[in-house]
Each structure stands twice: as structure tokens, then as C-alpha cells.
């Protein structure tokens, strides 16, 4: 039983770390958007991709 609880704890910690990484990536992308040229396809595509992933 302790092994299962440890596995769940590790999974929850991993999910929380992944969520924090996504939040940080979104923050960085927002900063890039504030400073990029309107016609920058790289940033625009990255934001579109992020929006698509969040809607899944």
C-alpha cells in the first residue's frame, strides 16, 4: 500500500511541476508577444500552438 501511495505522490508532484512549467512558458510567451513585430510567424505560431493545446 505504501508503494502505491508513493507512486501517486510522485505522479502528483510531476503533474504540479509540469503545470508550473506551462505557466512559466505562457508568461514568457506573453512577454515575447509584447515585444515582437506583429508579423513574426515564429511567435504567432507558438502562441497558436499553445492555444490549441490548452483547448484539448
pLDDT on residue 6: 94
Alpha-carbon distance of 13 to 2, in angstroms, equals: 16
- Cβ neighbours of residue 26 closer than 8 Å, sequence gap 6 or more: 50
For the record, the C-alpha cell of 24 comes out as: 512559466
Identify whether the C-beta of residue 33 lies closer than 8 Å to the C-beta of residue 47. Answer: yes
Grid coordinates standing for 8? 501517486
Q: What is the pLDDT along the chain (56 residues), one digit of tens a residue?
A: 799 999 999 999 999 999 999 999 999 988 888 776 665 555 556 666 666 566 55
Kindly give the interhelix angle for 41-55 and 2-35, rounded to the nearest 10 degrees: 140
Amino acid at each position: 500500500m505504501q508503494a502505491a501511495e508513493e507512486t501517486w505522490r510522485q505522479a502528483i508532484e510531476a503533474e504540479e511541476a509540469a503545470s508550473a512549467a506551462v505557466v512559466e512558458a505562457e508568461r514568457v510567451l506573453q512577454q515575447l508577444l509584447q515585444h515582437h513585430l506583429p508579423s513574426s510567424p515564429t511567435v504567432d505560431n507558438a502562441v497558436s500552438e499553445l492555444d490549441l493545446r490548452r483547448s484539448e
